[in-house]
Structure 1
Amino acid sequence: MSNFVLSICVITMNRALQLQEALLSCLACKLPEKTEFVIVDNASTDNTEQIVHETLNDCGYPFYYEKLAENKGVGGGRNYAFNKCSGQYVYVLDDDAVIDEKNPEFFNQAVDILEKHPEVVTLTTQIYDTAWKKNRVSADGREIYPYIYLKEMFCGGSHFLKKSFFGSDPYLGNRYGYEEIIPSMRVADAGYINICVPDLLVIHKPAVDKWDYTKNENEEILIMAFANPYAIKKMLYPKVFMPILFLCYTLRKAKYIKSKECRKKADALCKEITKEYPIEQKIKFMTVMKQVKEFGISVF
């Protein structure tokens, strides 16, 4: 068994000051005694390395920092960082987010939930987004315990994982977007659950609102929002679900992507993802049906 209870894991790139704020917000909390920090730098060109050492050298907890020679993206970077973690539980935080200062027991409460409920493999916290000016995580699943809700998939920006379940490389190794679908579905396929705990709060503070789809510069994010989930689920779900997956994808494109050129780009991205990140092991038919029963048509 690991000597560490908790690994706090952050991947980063060129956000030195925001990263420092994120790390300091973690250190302001009461942490399990056996906690480590793992920081993976996706080839930053700013003073990230200096900031990490200034912040963590005398923090009282061991830490691992590595600057990669190239940017592995979100999925690739998280896989690399996850494999460096030694804790029983791995907490992943976006580098432009902070723990709610009103809850110094944030980490202890999360670990306590994970230890009390062996069927829980992933835990998503609430994320308030300062760009959206609202919460990003909806507690739309059943309340299975007081203030604890079932979740279809965990949210990448703030989540806990039980390391022993995943082994290595839990995420899709793509550069950006929906890399958490596969590990979430693997959890459900194995008979375990993903949960959301809205009382555990993180504040996401993006410098730029990449999700304002009215802006032309955010076109790529809009395309990924539709192409990535479809491509991943197309590889992951049994073939019997292909018609409904395709129908839902087509209807969403027609409703939200007005430009024919953008729709073509979405289709091209789907093909690219299935070619570059093939998934050989599909989840079971009954797993998908149970997800439909719990979460409705949105699973497609």
Structure 2
Amino acid sequence: MKTPAYSLIIPVYNRPQELDELLACIQLQEFRDFEVVVIEDGSTDDATQIIEKYKASFDLAYYVKENGGQGFARNYAFERAKGDFFIILDSDALLEPTYLNEVEKAIKADNLDLFGGPDKDHPSFTPIQKAISYSMTSFLTTGGIRGKEKNIGGQFHPRSFNMGISRKVYEATGGFKITRMGEDIEFSIRCISMGFKSGLIPKAFIYHKRRTDFRQFYNQLHFFGRARINISRFFPKELKPVHFFPFLFFSYYVLTGLALLFFPSLGVLLFCGIIIYSLLVFFSAIINTKDYKIALLAIFAANIQLFAYGKGFAEEGLRKWLSNTAA
């Protein structure tokens, strides 16, 4: 049997409807030399019926395993995949029909071992999803370092919502070392440190649905903040000054709250800083989205993003410091 050029790796946890929409996009790919490997990672709401729907359309393998987290679910798929390259996709992604064409062109042109693409919002997304998408990619938040050709101080670090590796990379690294808490960034850094060439493929973008409400978004970004500290346990030098920006934002919020309670005049002055930042986000979002409703929601998204990330960063940083002190 001919080896496929690409194995599309999709871990799934209780998201059959999202998987259905992603597989529908994959069915329309113009480049046809691929297989799809779906890993059901301990779901209670499995995707068996969805898989049956697409089995006749393309080479599709479906595996069910006990829950072990997304990193190890991907490793499970790597062990069983047949392709020359593995492409990891989140189940809440949508693709253009030209996605694999763009990947194929870039790999051949740039001889990439490790690659990724950016994410965008789709016209069908809700206003909250679009506001979150703006916030996650804006230069006014931590999103300013996502989807860029150069990472802060080095090569592009692909993220697992849209990441590709060669089989050679997998065989050399053994896949993901940790299953959560920044597992994709740790993996990217480790691959690059071993000499593999990484690159961004701008036209190989996905439409990323992200979270559908601000509570879910808060929880996700709080986890991301913790993950940044977790990565520093493996690569201390990868904790850059820019990563402290959300922590400073969180600290500013706390200081403003305390000042409003005990020194109202100072508190009002500090609160003006939050208003100025929010206005910057609003006008930037207006320019970016051309939609006033999304721009208003973007104020909440940006503030939630930085506050939640900074809080998670502070909590995990304190936990790491206490652990090091005890040792």
1:128 corresponds to: 120
Inter-partner Cα distance in structure 1 for 2:254 and 2:70? 27
Q: CA deviation at 1:233?
A: 2.5
Q: Is the 8 A contact 1:5 1:32 kept in 2?
A: no
Query: 2:56 corresponds to which residue?
Result: 58
> 1:179, 1:74 → 2: CA distance?
9
In 2 relative to 1, CA 114–266 (structure 1 residues): closer, same or farther, beyond 3 Å? same
Question: 1:255 and 2:249 equivalent?
Answer: yes
- Tell me the CA shift for residue 113 of structure 1: 1.7
In proportion to residue count, which structure has more helix? Answer: 2
- Cα-to-partner distance string for 1:85-106 (whole Å, 9 max, x where unaligned): 1111111111111102xxx232
8 Å contact 2:70–2:179 — kept in the other structure? yes
Please give the alpha-carbon distance, in whole angstroms, between the structure 2 residues aligned to 1:272 and 1:84: 41
Structure 2 counterpart of 1:110 = 103
Once the two structures are superposed, residues 78-137 of structure 1 have per-residue CA deviations (whole angstroms, 9 ceiling, x without a partner) of 22222221111111111111102xxx232122123213333x222211211441243747
CA contact (8 A) 1:11 1:41 kept: yes
CA contact (8 A) 2:159 2:185 kept: no
Instruction: Give 2:179's aligned residue.
Output: 174
Distance 1:250 1:48, change over 3 A: same
CA RMSD of aligned residues (A): 3.3
- Alpha carbons 1:87, 1:163 under 8 Å: kept: yes
Aligned residue in 2 for 1:84: 80
Q: Which residue of 2 aligns with 1:20?
A: 20
Alignment match, 1:68: 65
TM-score, normalising length from structure 1? Answer: 0.70
Q: C-alpha separation between the residues in 1 aligned to 2:100 and 2:169?
A: 20
Aligned equivalent of 2:149, options 141, 145, 158: 141
Matched to 1:24, the amino acid is: A
> Number of residues paired by the alignment?
248
The one-letter amino acid of 2:204's match is: L
The residue type paired with residue 190 of structure 2 is: R
CA contact (8 A) 2:230 2:316 kept: no
CA distance in 2, matches of 1:236, 1:30: 40
Is 1:93–2:98 an aligned residue pair? Answer: no
Percent same amino acid at aligned positions? 18
Trace 1:196-207 onto structure 2 (pairs within 5 A).
196-206=200-210
What is residue 267 of structure 1 aligned with on the other side?
317
Q: Deviations over 1:22-63 (max 9, x none)?
A: 011011011333x211000012222411211222x211x322
- d(CA) in 1 for partners of 2:39 and 2:119? 22
CA distance in 2, matches of 1:191, 1:8: 24
Segments of 5+ residues of structure 1 without an aligned counterpart are 143-149, 275-300
Could you say if the C-alpha distance between residues 219 and 140 of structure 1 is closer, same or farther in structure 2, counting changes exceeding 3 Å?
A: closer
SS, match of residue 140 in structure 1? coil
Q: Aligned to 2:195, which of 176, 186, 191?
A: 191
CA contact (8 A) 1:92 1:160 kept: yes
Q: Which amino acid aligns with 1:126?
A: P
Cα 1:183–1:207 shift into 2, 3 Å: closer
Mark the CA change 1:155 to 1:2 in structure 2 (over 3 Å): closer, same or farther.
farther
Matches of residues 19-58 of structure 1 in structure 2 within 5 Å?
19-33=19-33, 35-55=34-54, 57-58=55-56
Q: Which has the higher strand share?
A: 1
CA distance in 2, matches of 1:91, 1:29: 14
Q: CA deviation at 1:2?
A: 7.6
Normalised by the size of structure 2, how large is the TM-score? 0.65
Structure 1 residue 20: Cα displacement: 0.8
One-letter amino acid matched to 2:38: I
Shift of 1:269: 5.8
CA distance in 2 between counterparts of 1:273 and 1:58 reads 53
